[in-house]
Chains A and B, each alone.
Chain A
Amino acid sequence: MKFTIGNFLVQEIRFGANTSYKKGLLTINKSEALAVVCEDDHITEADLYLVHPGDDVRLLPVKDAVEPRIKLDGAPLFPGVTGQMVQCGEGITHALKGCSVVVVGQQWGGYQDGVIDMGGEGAKYTYFSQLHNIVLVADTDEAFEQKELQKKNSALRRAGLRLAEYIGSAVKTMEPEKMEQYEMVPVADRVIPLPKIALVLQVQSQMEKPGYNTLCYGWDCNHMVPTFINPNEILDGAMVSGSFMPSSSKWSTYDFQNFPMIKRLYQEHGKTLNFIGVILSNLNVESDQKERSTLFVVNMAKTLGIDAAIVAEEGYGNPDTDFTSCLVALEDAGIKTVGLTNECTGKDGRSQPLVYMHEKADAIVSCGNVSELIELPPAKIVLGNLQALARDGMSGGWADDELLGPSVRPDGSIIMENNAMFCGDQVVGWSTKTVKEF
């Protein structure tokens, strides 16, 4: 399976007459773009903004981020979600690099939504602060969940996916500036004398009700047993981020499209290791579901002759049990493991970092502490609704606290836990954070 990404390096974005791209300048026809957003009747209001690294702008509640792309063969960018069911990860996809479509709720936030600060002290907490962002701020008629803590954010998230494809269409017929190629020869033909490695991805799938979990070709990952998937498929739109789990632990759709851990393994393939592929697993709430998934992962790894595996977890708390159990079970099967996750050590740093730990899970890379306290000055411009952080139960925010006061202060400054930083722990591999003893 050979997959080519033709990259266009965006350095500037403007609104203009035609949605087009020329030498680093991306121009977007705003009314055409908004028409794509409003194709869904559930969108009641929508506007677009352009923000850039260093701008004194705070975005919240952020629902998802998506890289603008287009597939040259006319296939939908997210098969099974935005269009028909076709294979991802083959052929050529064009991508606008250095930018993303960021979807922000105009009114309502929820447990799973996040904050992005484009400038100042807050910018270091999210990956998306360093990108040029096309910010969709919109409201919907999904009144049933406006006051719900857990929101599906369906209309908004799907609007983001459509918008990314519309903007991507600007470069469909153009010559890319930089090519990336990912080729996976069939497993049986990959006979190189190097340790065989699998990447186990435990994506967020803890909600029993439909509409909240990570999707694989549109399929709710709660309803699957772990499966073997070509990493190219993940890099090419097979996965759409869900709407559950405190934001800093989440993997956005952009994260799946660019998965640095996958790209890093490709880079190492044939040099120090033999990258066999990805075992796509999930995170569950019930013990038998957890055990079943672990069983499938281990069995698949053994069948593939895997020597060593990386297990990455999209979440914390209850799913730490899936994470640690999987590491332990792989170790018990003679497969060496490294875990990739974040921690919850509490504001005071004193809590047990994962709810379940085991001496066999002895090699873990840690990408941050979800409960680290963060205090940030007011931003000149807020896109979305600042009160969502305090009012709507965004994890990491609160209405009031005996010692700390409300998360959102009258002057617009905020105090929150890292939990609310949009995909802030970058467990997909970008994180330059770690956790240390003090």
Chain B
Amino acid sequence: MKKAIVYLNQFFGQIGGESTAGHQPAIKEGGIGPAQELNRQLQHAEVTHTVVCGDNYMVENEEEAVKQILELLSDKEFDIFISGPAFKAGRYGLACGAVNKAVHEAFSVPVITSMHTENPGVDLYKKELIIFSGGESVIAMDEDLKKLAVYADKILTNQPLGTAEEEGYHARGNRHQIWRDDQVCAADRVVDMLLKKIHDQPFESELPVPKRDNVPIAPPLSDLATARIAVLTSGGVVPVNNPDHIRSASATRWGKYSIEGMERLEADIFKTIHGGYDPTAIDADPNICVPIDVLRAYEAEGKIGHLYEFFYSTVGTGVTQSDAARMGREIVEDLLAVDVDAAIMIST
């Protein structure tokens, strides 16, 4: 039998109502309240402990509360961690999210929870966590617990896991290909979708458009004439021997290459290894992608203070967003370390 630990707030943890919302984290043996019911529903795990914490305490002292909970769990053995269900209760949902995230990071065990779609915890944590789509209130308790138990049993016995839709959790923006059980081919699906769309009947796109996440605009440079400018490119320009072995597609690495003493990038020293476009032009004159020649001219005439003596390069095609973000962070760290004031990125 595998072991599960459950997280509940003060109310479901049977400490009390709103007046006890400041309660500090505590751990109790066995399952309490919903955890007891969950224990009944789980076929392959036993709820060994229940962690209880007041919603206000958690929200007002999140860092400290999470630390206390990890401390309480540090000497326990468990195979899965389950929070809630939190329904539409905002503070409780945020707590379940914060605790699950921390427990997963600290103990590398699977973590699951359940919330109603309007719970603010869903938006905040759905990308990182599996959050089952729960009911609005305690009336849905049995149903919500059942989804959690079924999925927990599947994970614990290494059974194949279904899609977010099949299992009933909130989509995380984590998309993978599958073969359809019904084997309906794409041509049939297109005709079906087209006819529905023509006749104003509801249809479901297989590729819903996700929401965009914009970054705040960085303040402009106050003085270009003293600024240190760095050049970045996703065009794959590298020294001809590609010393960092950057891949021509789905790159996971970036390189930083010296231009010290160079008035321009010479064709016999640099080339592009990008696989997504015709490389002829850039191979013949790499300045077409990494414009060192004109930047040196601007530097000489004093328009820019200083051109940073390395340029940064990777290949943009097919890179995962997380790799792109990681490489971005690594490059940023480097840019900050060498006091670069602004950057020009050339994409192909």
Contacts and interface: CB of A to CB of B under 8 A. Distances in A.
Tell me if chains A and B make direct contact, with any CB pair below 8 A. yes
Contacts of A337: 197
A285 interface: yes
A426 interface: yes
A423 to B, nearest CB: 13
Contacts of B185: 260, 429-432
A429 B187 contact: yes
Given A308-B197, A433-B177, A437-B165, A261 B190 contact: yes
A433 B179 contact: yes
A368 interface: yes
A308 B198 contact: yes
B318 interface: yes
Contact of A398 (B163, B247, B277): B247
Interface residues of A, number: 82
Contacts of B250: 347, 371, 395, 398, 417, 419
A435 B174 CA distance: 10
Contacts of A316: 318
Interface residues of B, number: 55
B175 interface: yes
Given A265-B191, A417-B250, A435-B207, A317 B276 contact: yes
Contact of A261 (B187, B193, B318): B187
Interface string A333-351: 0001111110111111111
Given A338-B190, A429-B185, A207 B175 contact: no
A264 interface: yes
Contacts of B189: 365, 434
A272 interface: yes
B184 interface: yes
Contacts of A272: 191, 195
A99 B175 CA distance: 34
A318 B277 contact: yes
B177 A351 contact: no
Contacts of A357: 209-210
A429 B186 contact: yes
Contacts of B178: 433-436
B65 to A, nearest CB: 29
B260 interface: no
A336 B199 CA distance: 10
B163 A438 contact: yes
Interface in B174-233: 174-180, 183-191, 193-195, 197-198, 203, 205-207, 209-210
Contacts of A317: 276, 317-318
Nearest to B194: A338
B183 A351 contact: no
Contact of B210 (A149, A352, A418): A352
B243 interface: no
Given A371-B318, A437-B163, A285 B277 contact: yes
A241 interface: no
B75 interface: no
Interface string B37-59: 00000000000000000000000
Contacts, number: 210
Residue among B161, B187, B198 with the most chain A CB within 10 A? B187
Contacts of B277: 206, 285, 318
A208 interface: yes
Nearest to B253: A402
Contacts of B191: 264-265, 268, 272-273
Nearest to A364: B207
A353 interface: yes
Nearest to A324: B209
A409 B43 CA distance: 41
B163 A436 contact: yes
Nearest to B207: A364
Given A149-B248, A338-B194, A346 B323 contact: yes
Nearest to A260: B187
A348 B209 contact: no
A272 B195 CA distance: 8
A358 B323 CA distance: 24
B178 to A, nearest CB: 5
B275 interface: yes
A430 B176 contact: no
Contacts of B279: 149-150
Given A433-B179, A433-B180, A437-B171, A346 B249 contact: no
A436 B164 contact: yes
A351 B320 contact: yes
A427 B277 CA distance: 22
B176 A264 contact: no
B210 A338 contact: no
A338 to B, nearest CB: 5
B252 A402 contact: yes
Given A111-B275, A209-B278, A357-B210, A350 B186 contact: no
B318 A419 contact: yes
B172 A438 contact: yes
Given A318-B277, A438-B172, 20 more contacts: A111-B249, A149-B275, A208-B278, A208-B280, A285-B277, A308-B194, A318-B276, A338-B190, A340-B190, A346-B321, A346-B322, A349-B174, A351-B321, A371-B318, A372-B176, A398-B250, A400-B245, A430-B187, A432-B183, A437-B165
Ranked 4 nearest A-B pairs via Cβ: A346-B320, A429-B187, A437-B171, A264-B187
23 contacts: A149-B275, A207-B278, A209-B278, A209-B280, A261-B190, A264-B187, A264-B191, A273-B191, A308-B198, A310-B190, A317-B318, A318-B276, A346-B319, A346-B322, A347-B250, A364-B207, A399-B245, A419-B249, A432-B184, A435-B207, A437-B175, A438-B161, A438-B174
